[in-house]
Structure 1
Amino acid sequence: MEKQLALYDAFPIYGYERRSLIAKEKGCVTIPLKLKLPEVFTLDVSEYVQLNELFFNIIDILGPNTLLHKQDFFFEETYRPIKGRLQGDFLERANEFHFNERSFLRTQHYLYVSNVPKNYIRHSPKRSNSFLNKKRDFYMENVVPKEFVSTTVLADFESKVESVVALINASGLVTATVMDYDSLFFENGLYPKYFGLSSVNINLPDIDFSDNVIQVGNKKAQFFTVENLDQFTKEHLSTNEVYGKYSTKYNQFPVGNLFSIGFKIPHEHIINQYIFIPEQDKVMKQLRKKAKRFNQFSNGKKDDSNAIYADQIHAFNTDVLENHKEIVFYHLNILAFGDEHGQHRKLCNSVSSAFKKLKINVKENSIDRKNLFFGGVPGNSVGIPSDMYMPMSSDMAASLLYFEGEYKDATTSVDGLRLVNRTTGRPLSVSVYKLPEEEDWIFNRGMLVASGSGGGKSFYVNHYVASELRQGAEAVIMEDGNSYDKITEVFEGVVIEHDDERPFTFNPFQLDSYDVVIDANGKNRLTENKTINLVTLLKLITGDEKNVNTSLLSLEVKNTVFEILIAGYYERRWEEDKANFNFDSFFEYCKDHIVALVKAKGISREIFDSKVFLFLLEKYYKDGPRGKLLNHEDDRISRLSDEKIVYFKLGKLIDNELLFPITALMIMEIFSKKLSDRSKLSINKMMVVDEAWKALDRKELVDYFNSQSRMARKYGGQPIFISQKVSDFIASEVIKNAIVVNSHIKVFLDMRDFAKSFDKIQSVMGLGEKQKQLILSINKDLPEDRKLREVAFCWLDRVKVYGIETSLEEKCIYETNATESGKIIQLFKDNHKNWELTAKAYAYRSSKKPLKT
């Protein structure tokens, strides 16, 4: 019958003093650190080198008789709907129910630094965890070995650990904090999690080591160990590995050497890694003795194994000495566990398969299960038997540490864009611009969205716009298709379509409270933004800048003349107390004053031709060919200032090089008015321009775009530019300077079509190598059991990839595929033109499994 122990007796830690854990076994004193590791997939090769150097230096700082135990928890968590989101619109509720009860892995990472007695590694394995056989009274008389009673020894140890913490935090990649009593021992502290093999402590379960297994409550656990160099079949170990599923000859994607035994094991597990630093002279002497014995038993032949082993030891010693390395002893194990006993073999196969990808023959270890379990208890790393360690150089040991952490985005936040972690499917609330602004990752919210054909850009933009609208944002959308009809109607916005029967008309000269300020003399004066808008309009109408022979001087003269005419027109109308501002009255004012102005200023005809100027303006005057365009504000447009979402469907107008830029300018002024509204300072104001690049490629618009970007940055606005023709972004200097440079958030969907030519895109977009690697990895390793697409967010020099996964109800509203949209429109008609009923009907129809015949 198995011996039974109370947890008090089986607990290997005697106490916690001065931030240190005191183990019952061999007087080991440990300072526990909690680590935050870099987010998975975000490191480049140079950063893996940096991490290797970091832990190489840590080993050097700590010195002999130090034991490092790095522990990584991968515990399962289940998603529960967020109350605040359940109170939202029907799309948000559907999203919560879509993710309800989803299980995923969460991680926590620790480093325990222990000061151990001399010659610890030479202790007999039979002495491991001997405290289990001792009575309580023994520890009342034998608390701490004599050497640790010395305050000098403990103070020196604490000083070294403080140096290690400072070094880790200075790296900019990993952070470390010393754990306090509560975080270790309280209800949801570290020890309850370990002994319960659970992220949430309900009640500590019984632990049973009988029958050659480990039973923790209703969980069955298994250890897998790497304890011998012969288990490595890999010839060379670098600072990182290449992840095959994301890599091509154009894109070598780096991951950590132990990446496969982290998130890629789809079961709960704990990674334990131990590095013992011995006294270097002693261990070197022992290795030389071992090499001498091998030589004594060799037969002198080339293939003699004893001679080979002796040569390997000499080469190892030489490398250590010449390259100023340390000799350390290393051990790696995984404790994997699961609730269902029927799944135990599947769990074991998953772990073994993960190690095979690392070219390591892992050992299923049941014999040492008790020592391995107690050696994994934080602060009791001395419980690992000495014969389970293998010697290696300190740089190799540093390369064999696990470095990939989980995404740091919030899971339970009501705000934020709902995306998922690409490795585990964990639902996230991603802060697209608020957190990046607070952390100084970006300095404006401008967003550029690019993808290949069919990459899902419109689906993403629908999802993002919906997320922002429910957080109080407002949006003005321009597009030539039908991608945003449904989202506009769901959020009770306004859809305005241009066609030949009812074309858009504007009155850009009409003023409102946003366009006028009172100067120091009490007189009316146009705002800078209104002046720039009207100057840009006149530049578009006259269009001289298409002439490549136009000098910079004549361009500046032209701008100045326009400003003088605009200011003079309004001064005259205000003096005459006339409020009916329009293009016709402006043209008449120009006709009366332009000749005198040009003559008075001595401007030559070659620099500015007033007759040509009036001729070009006349087309928009009264009965001219475009006389209606700028003299009357469309009733549909005049009521838009307070609308939450306005969608302009531009149709064939987008290909009209004359009319589209003018129309776009007028629509952008609506966005400007939203920016100027002081009551809307706290909300996000979006200007979404989808597939409008060709007509916007006008030098006349550069200054206006730049002024809009400055205004958006100042007043909390977000210009969003979208295109599947990535060449549009790189073909024009105008677009590059006015849009690409002013978009600090660059969003990429599937870009595999551009893999061979991505270098040019990378250069123009100002993307780093890691950003390129992640963008080209999109959709390369999608889960088989969930439907999603991936998206990369680049915040200036930062980058992260997420999954876009939505409910079927959301898919109904965001879907832009023509065939699928046709089915949805028919459902809409069948459901009394109610989008909530339509979305539910679509979800029901889509989720039904076809009958087997």
Structure 2
Amino acid sequence: MACGGSSNRRQLVPSRKQSSLIQPNRSPNSVKLNARTLEKALPLLAVENNCLISKLADITVGFRLLLPEIFTQSPEDYRSLHSALCKAIKMLPVGTVIHKQDWFMEEKYQADQDHDDTSFLTLAFQRHFVERPFLNHYCYLYISKLPRSRQKQKSTRHSLTRRRLVPREQVDPKELQSFFDSVSQFERILQDGGIAAERLKDEDYVSGKGDRGIVPNYFRLQPDGRRKVTLEDWDIDGHVRVGDKQVMCFTLSDVESMPHMVDVMAGYGPLSSDSTQFAVGNVLPVGLMLPCNHIYNQYICIEDGPAALREFEQQTRYLNSLSMYSNENAINRDWTQKFIQEAIQQQRTVCRSHFNLMVWTEKPEQIDYLRSRASAAIAQLDCLPKHNTQDAARLLWAGIPGNAGDLPLDDTFYTFVEQAVCMFNLESSYRSSLSPFGIRLCDRFGKPVWVDLSDEPMNRGWITNRNKFIIGPSGSGKSFFTNHMVRQYYEQGTHVLLVDVGHSYRGLCEMINRKTRGRDGVYLTYEEDNPITFNPFYAEDGVFDIEKKESIKTLLLTLWKKETEPFTRTEEVALSDAVEQYLKLIKKTPGKGSFNGFYEYCDAQEGFRAYLKEKKYEKDYFDVQKFLLTMQPFYKGGEYDYLLNSDLKIDLLNKRFVVFELDNIKDHPILYPVVTLIIMETFVSKMRRLKGVRKMILIEEAWKAIAKEGMATYIQYLFKTVRKYFGEAVIVTQEIDDIIGNSIVKDAVINNSDCKILLDQSKYQNRFDEVRQLLGLTEKQKQLVLSVNKDLDPMRKYKEVFIALGHRSKVYATEVSLEEYAAYTTEETEKYEVQQRTAANGGDIQVGIIDFADARRAKAAV
């Protein structure tokens, strides 16, 4: 039989002796069991033209669905999904059976092989999570065209016991084409509604040898087929076993077990707050919240509406005639009349529905536990849990992909499509980004995921710049997240420049220096015996371009004049000439330039004084003597002679991890403006000169001091232009009020940061509407922010973080290994312990971190 064309049929299941269906002999005088090969009992005939063909002429088209990720949908999103599904289902012809099958499988995390990174801390992260169990989700949807004779299938007539000839309508080209057209429309509506639907192909259903694919995997209750390729026996002698797995089936197959009212979503208490109700899918308790291997089957059979309503009208008359004998008959009559009225007045699509939950385990001691968990999950839906033992084998049989037509009629109930779709699972687990660039975080259940905060969002149009701001109070895990982020950015080739005021990145910088033998990491801080020092007249490659010259001139102007003291245009031109002439001079002796040399050049009679005399500059235009007098504190012998005369020959342009620690000078009137100028000059130089290289500048609490000292223009400049140079600027602060209270930063940062990262904001929950409007957050994003850290797993040590990329947002967990914890920690006692262990091991910080982590593990094991 062909479906729109000819093709080679595929063998669905290999003929093997170990693959059998064991069922009881129906003779009442015999207890002997029959063993049938699965190939003979299989209700499916072949795979043709990307369709499944059953032996009773059912034609099935399948889809793999990518549902929205859990905890990311707003009430409007759920209603939009519900509307799209209802519209799509109504496009299908009468007699169609929709079978949605959601697999939830216990799997164990394995190291990510797609990202080739073997750094010490990354390997520690992988070891921390390896073999961690998590629940994965696979979703399939099958649309079956049944022959008219099969559309009223009774429970005693199914392909397990009977075979039929192919009905004429199943081979009629016009009917087939009409069915496939409606399926294509169904697919398009789903795509437009936000559900990615991928049509299954022949090789997806079954491989050439019959041991791989969706159909064989169902017979081993294993959706991906990676662990086993052999088929397993089915034992349906009074109970259901698939190999070593004992299967239990719980059904929602009659209106008495269903709730009086249904909605597409429900409130989730653990993540709700006093001011917000956190919305999740209606059937979440039997989805990702049920922590065991299970399948949730959802069936909708499209009925002939007028014919069904005529039957109900006849039933109404019958019940009316019996209403005087029983109040129950009168009540059923009234409900039936309401059903008819709603169907006519609101043009509802009548359907028959069935829902069941199948759970299984290979450990007999878990049977009672799983039974109670599954029953409790169904009870949370406000449904009456029913452990089905009589029809479990038939329901498992009907769950075979392409065999929904074998669903018994007496296991279904009448309803409308709108109500039936409310019982659909509409969310999936977090998915990792396919981008090669990203960072490792965890979902809210503890599964590691790969997250791209920069490239993929830009490419997909979610954001227009890579800038970020991070807000989190003390103790919220802000330093851990930023350490974790910048480390992974650095390890993927990013030039990172950090401005800090709390020594949060010293450990990470030391780790980088150990790995690169000091080539990449620079930690610049002010200490009495080791003050911070630079040389603005040094360039490793000897190139002084326009940006470099301008930065030197800006530095000299800052040292020369106060912020309130203006300088003339002639003074600026003369100073530019002085810088230009000195740079020409030091080109003859590369590496000899310094501020001392520049000072001496300006003071020498044969130096800049001679140049001024030659150009006939008068003293009124540029007073060299006053200039040199002002600069004298930075010349040798002066109070700050160390600041601009470094002999370390450090070229910050080519250093990939540079930390400026400003804690000791953030209030200094002289040092701080000079250092901030050097910082900005360094990053602007990187930004403009490093072509095709990713750059990041991250300013911690120091941004407040920068803004006060007239440096806010640099922040504005960075946030507005850095995106053009493959860069990103990041501001980190503890309080939202810090940004709200600074109008310059508020306008520059918020308006030019499409990535918003917030940690625990529970202190603002009673006035978060003000914050929401300021940050441009949606109502759903507000719910997500206020849900951070509300439902933490006490067995894990982690903090949650809210990340918004445009209007797309999620909450992730920042969970790290003990080795990463030792490198990131800002607790003084823990930092001191790491330092002590490092000193005890010859100054090797990696060994010190390993000792720290091992000691913590040993302590936890006691």
Q: TM-score, normalised on structure 2?
A: 0.85
Report if the CA contact (8 A) 1:265-1:354 is conserved.
yes
Report if the CA contact (8 A) 1:813-1:839 is conserved.
yes
Report if the CA contact (8 A) 2:500-2:701 is conserved.
yes
In structure 2, what is the Cα distance between the partners aligned to 1:162 and 1:197?
A: 29
In structure 1, what is the Cα distance between the partners aligned to 2:552 and 2:766?
A: 41
Number of the residue aligned with 1:48: 78
Q: What is the deviation of 1:568? A: 4.8
Alignment RMSD (CA, Å) = 3.5
In structure 2, what is the Cα distance between the partners aligned to 1:244 and 1:541?
A: 62
The yes-or-no answer on 1:320 pairing with 2:343 is: yes
- The amino acid that maps onto 1:272 is N
In structure 1, what is the Cα distance between the partners aligned to 2:840 and 2:642?
A: 42
Number of the residue aligned with 1:111: 141
Question: Residue 654 of structure 2: SS of its match in structure 1?
Answer: coil
Match of 1:482 among 503, 514, 519: 503
Report if the CA contact (8 A) 2:107-2:135 is conserved.
yes
The yes-or-no answer on 1:232 pairing with 2:232 is: no
Give the alignment of 1:808-823 within 5 angstroms. Answer: 808-823=818-833
Report if the CA contact (8 A) 2:343-2:349 is conserved.
yes
**Between 178-187 and 684-693, the greater mean CA deviation after superposition:** 684-693
Number of the residue aligned with 1:195: 219
In structure 1, what is the Cα distance between the partners aligned to 2:421 and 2:638?
A: 73
**Identity of matched residues, %:** 28
Q: What is the deviation of 1:788? A: 2.0
Relative distance call for 1:44 and 1:85 in structure 2 (3 A) is closer
Relative distance call for 1:79 and 1:717 in structure 2 (3 A) is same
Q: Deviations over 1:194-239 (max 9, x none)?
A: 1111132523433333453211112111111101122124x43233
Number of the residue aligned with 1:214: 240
Number of the residue aligned with 2:192: 170
Q: Deviations over 1:231-274 (max 9, x none)?
A: 124x4323311111111132221111111211111111111100
In structure 1, what is the Cα distance between the partners aligned to 2:363 and 2:859?
A: 28
Number of the residue aligned with 2:459: 438
Number of the residue aligned with 1:153: 175
Question: Residue 443 of structure 1: SS of its match in structure 2?
Answer: coil
Relative distance call for 1:615 and 1:793 in structure 2 (3 A) is farther
- The amino acid that maps onto 2:215 is Y
Number of the residue aligned with 1:298: 323
Number of the residue aligned with 2:778: 768
Report if the CA contact (8 A) 2:549-2:579 is conserved.
no
- The amino acid that maps onto 2:258 is F
In structure 2, what is the Cα distance between the partners aligned to 1:813 and 1:99?
A: 18
In structure 2, what is the Cα distance between the partners aligned to 1:712 and 1:537?
A: 25
Number of the residue aligned with 1:80: 110
**Between 105-114 and 654-663, the greater mean CA deviation after superposition:** 654-663
The yes-or-no answer on 1:281 pairing with 2:276 is: no
- The amino acid that maps onto 1:256 is G
Q: TM-score, normalised on structure 1?
A: 0.86
Q: Gapped runs of 5+ residues in structure 1? A: 518-525, 548-556, 601-609
**Number of residue pairs matched?**
806
- The amino acid that maps onto 2:524 is I
The yes-or-no answer on 1:96 pairing with 2:126 is: yes
Report if the CA contact (8 A) 1:620-1:630 is conserved.
no
Report if the CA contact (8 A) 1:86-1:93 is conserved.
no
Number of the residue aligned with 1:69: 99
Q: Deviations over 1:401-435 (max 9, x none)?
A: 11102222159x98632222223x22222223232
Relative distance call for 1:851 and 1:45 in structure 2 (3 A) is closer
**Between 371-380 and 726-735, the greater mean CA deviation after superposition:** 726-735
Relative distance call for 1:617 and 1:736 in structure 2 (3 A) is farther
Number of the residue aligned with 1:18: 49
Q: What is the deviation of 1:644? A: 3.2
The yes-or-no answer on 1:494 pairing with 2:506 is: no
Q: What is the deviation of 1:54? A: 0.7
In structure 1, what is the Cα distance between the partners aligned to 2:612 and 2:271?
A: 68
Q: What is the deviation of 1:741? A: 2.7
Q: What is the deviation of 1:806? A: 1.7
Match of 2:380 among 351, 354, 357: 357
Report if the CA contact (8 A) 2:285-2:377 is conserved.
yes
Match of 1:38 among 64, 68, 78: 68
- The amino acid that maps onto 1:792 is F
Report if the CA contact (8 A) 1:39-1:406 is conserved.
yes
Report if the CA contact (8 A) 1:34-1:177 is conserved.
yes
Relative distance call for 1:586 and 1:478 in structure 2 (3 A) is farther
Report if the CA contact (8 A) 2:633-2:641 is conserved.
no
Report if the CA contact (8 A) 2:634-2:644 is conserved.
no
Match of 1:256 among 253, 256, 281: 281
Report if the CA contact (8 A) 2:89-2:186 is conserved.
no
In structure 2, what is the Cα distance between the partners aligned to 1:637 and 1:307?
A: 95
In structure 2, what is the Cα distance between the partners aligned to 1:268 and 1:175?
A: 24
Q: What is the deviation of 1:14? A: 1.5
In structure 1, what is the Cα distance between the partners aligned to 2:695 and 2:777?
A: 26
Q: What is the deviation of 1:643? A: 2.8
- The amino acid that maps onto 2:169 is E
Q: Deviations over 1:789-839 (max 9, x none)?
A: 222221122212222222212211112122333333333333333222222
The yes-or-no answer on 1:731 pairing with 2:772 is: no
Q: What is the deviation of 1:71? A: 0.9
Q: What is the deviation of 1:596? A: 8.9
Q: Deviations over 1:331-362 (max 9, x none)?
A: 11111112212112212222212222221122
In structure 2, what is the Cα distance between the partners aligned to 1:291 and 1:800?
A: 50
Q: Deviations over 1:355-410 (max 9, x none)?
A: 22221122111110111011111111011111111111221112221110222215
Q: Deviations over 1:276-311 (max 9, x none)?
A: 11011111111122222222222399xx22222211
Number of the residue aligned with 2:550: 531
In structure 2, what is the Cα distance between the partners aligned to 1:251 and 1:835?
A: 46
In structure 2, what is the Cα distance between the partners aligned to 1:574 and 1:487?
A: 36
Number of the residue aligned with 2:21: none
In structure 1, what is the Cα distance between the partners aligned to 2:850 and 2:299?
A: 54
Question: Residue 679 of structure 2: SS of its match in structure 1?
Answer: helix
Q: What is the deviation of 1:484? A: 1.2
Q: After TM superposition, where is structure 1 displaced by more than 4 Å over at least 4 residues in a row?
A: 82-87, 505-517, 532-545, 557-593, 595-600, 613-627, 849-852
The yes-or-no answer on 1:241 pairing with 2:272 is: no
The yes-or-no answer on 1:6 pairing with 2:37 is: yes
Number of the residue aligned with 2:370: 347
**Between 504-513 and 758-767, the greater mean CA deviation after superposition:** 504-513
Q: What is the deviation of 1:155? A: 0.6
Number of the residue aligned with 1:182: 203
Relative distance call for 1:152 and 1:145 in structure 2 (3 A) is same
Relative distance call for 1:249 and 1:559 in structure 2 (3 A) is farther
Relative distance call for 1:537 and 1:400 in structure 2 (3 A) is farther
Question: Residue 212 of structure 1: SS of its match in structure 2?
Answer: coil
Report if the CA contact (8 A) 2:147-2:170 is conserved.
no
**Between 318-327 and 496-505, the greater mean CA deviation after superposition:** 496-505
In structure 1, what is the Cα distance between the partners aligned to 2:105 and 2:625?
A: 75
- The amino acid that maps onto 1:59 is I
Question: Residue 653 of structure 1: SS of its match in structure 2?
Answer: coil
Relative distance call for 1:828 and 1:122 in structure 2 (3 A) is same
Relative distance call for 1:577 and 1:336 in structure 2 (3 A) is closer
Q: What is the deviation of 1:655? A: 3.2
Q: Gapped runs of 5+ residues in structure 2? A: 1-31, 514-520
The yes-or-no answer on 1:694 pairing with 2:709 is: no
Report if the CA contact (8 A) 1:68-1:274 is conserved.
yes
Number of the residue aligned with 2:27: none
Report if the CA contact (8 A) 1:511-1:581 is conserved.
no
Report if the CA contact (8 A) 2:299-2:353 is conserved.
yes
Give the alignment of 1:641-660 within 5 angstroms. Answer: 641-656=653-668, 659-660=671-672
Relative distance call for 1:777 and 1:506 in structure 2 (3 A) is same
In structure 1, what is the Cα distance between the partners aligned to 2:366 and 2:618?
A: 89
In structure 2, what is the Cα distance between the partners aligned to 1:188 and 1:661?
A: 67
